[in-house]
Amino acid sequence: MKKILLSAVALLMLFSCQNETTEVAPEASVLARRGCASQEVLEAQLKADPTLALRMNEIEAFTQKAMLSGRLVNGKVEIPVVVNVLYKTAAENISDAQIQSQIDVLNDDFNATNSDFSSTPALFSGVAANVGITFVLETVNRKSTTKTSWGTRDAMKKTKQGGLDPTSPTTKLNMWACTIGGGILGYAQFPGGSTTTDGVVIDSKYFGLSGSGAYPYNLGRTATHEVGHWMNLRHIWGDATCGSDLVSDTPTHNTANYGVPAYPHYSTCTGTPVEMTMNYMDYTDDRGMYMFSNGQKSRMAAIFVSGGSRAGFGI
């Protein structure tokens, strides 16, 4: 496992990459590979708002201090969820049952009650985590639209652009179910961004278990992955070759993994560790991911303690 040693300069570089995120067209068929736009959206937000990097650096410094100082507690965090459904077709107007199935998946995955948690290899069993965060569906908002796809510029989060504004984003997790397009399954806003766009977007085809859920992303793990980002988790490969996810108990990955890699899958990074391909923050198929690590648990918990970036949800 790796150690996290990042200077203030390194953190600033991590949160100040710049890239342009554009509108995207709907995909023509079932995806062969997972596509998450959270990092690209972050880079566009950093370009648009130079102060965001400073806020995220402050959040990161607080997170590392909280993890090192023992400020984390074992209390339960309960997250009220508002789901905003934007639809043009009947298939996009996902049912209440499909929405509830997604909440159920989140509760299973964040509490290690998912049936495949027991598949965790012995090598990682000592760090496989029960995060201890629960989710409660509070409200479903629905809106008929004329849009065929929404892209990744947050239009779905803005009533004036045909979407739906978030509801009480400092105390509720807002999720948008809509057609994103361009091969993107979902994306999330990291802590530190504007409250007017805070939350998680999931393409309606990959939201929950029933109805329009499309294989191999039909087990609700897209939302698990994206909510991980919303709770300050990075991709396990650090969005760079042999990069850092700022967590000490996850192995260093070469890059993203796809499909369901055979175990053990070795990294060629320093030390050639076995990669934790079954971690929710990789890019494997839904059936190939089934665990968070204790380090990721601590990182998520840090945002909810007093002074944390999502303290409004409280521990």
Between 212 and 307, whose confidence is greater? 307
Average pLDDT over all residues of the chain = 88
- Which of 43, 92, 226, 275 is catalytic? The answer is 226
Q: How is the chain split into domains, by residue range?
A: 9-235+293-302
pLDDT attached to residue 121? 98
CATH C-level class of 9-235+293-302: alpha beta
pLDDT of res. 313: 87
Q: What is the pLDDT of residues 38-85, one digit of tens each?
A: 888 889 989 999 899 999 999 999 888 877 655 555 567 899 999 999
φ, ψ for residue 83, nearest 5 deg: -105, 125
Query: Which residues lie below 8 Å from residue 181, measured CB to CB, with a gap of 6+?
Result: 23, 24, 25, 26, 27, 148, 149, 150, 151
Per-residue pLDDT at 24 exceeds 60: no
pLDDT score at 236: 98
| 20 vs 168 pLDDT, higher one | 168
According to DSSP, residue 266 is labeled B
Dihedral sign from CA coordinates of 253, 258, 260, 262: negative
Spatial strand order in the sheet of 133-144: 133-144, 77-87, 173-178, 200-203, 186-188
Q: Is 126 exposed, middle or buried (0-12, 13-18, 19+ CB in 10 A)?
A: exposed
What is the CA angle 70-75-80, rounded to 5?
125
Note whether 185 and 155 are within 8 A (CB): no
Active site residue 27: no
Tens-digit pLDDT profile for residues 154-182: 999 999 999 999 999 999 999 999 999 99
At 29 the pLDDT is: 38
Instruction: State the amino acid at position 173 in one-letter form.
Output: L
Neighbouring-strand partners of residue 135: 79
Q: Is the pLDDT of residue 23 over 70?
A: no
The answer, yes or no, to whether residue 145 has pLDDT greater than 70, is yes
- 168-222 per-position pLDDT tens digit: 999 999 999 999 999 999 999 999 999 999 999 999 999 999 766 789 999 999 9
Distance set, CA 15 to CA 11, 56, 235, 254 (Å)? 6, 7, 14, 20
Q: Is a pLDDT exceeding 80 seen at residue 252?
A: yes
Residue matched to tokens 């499309």: 214
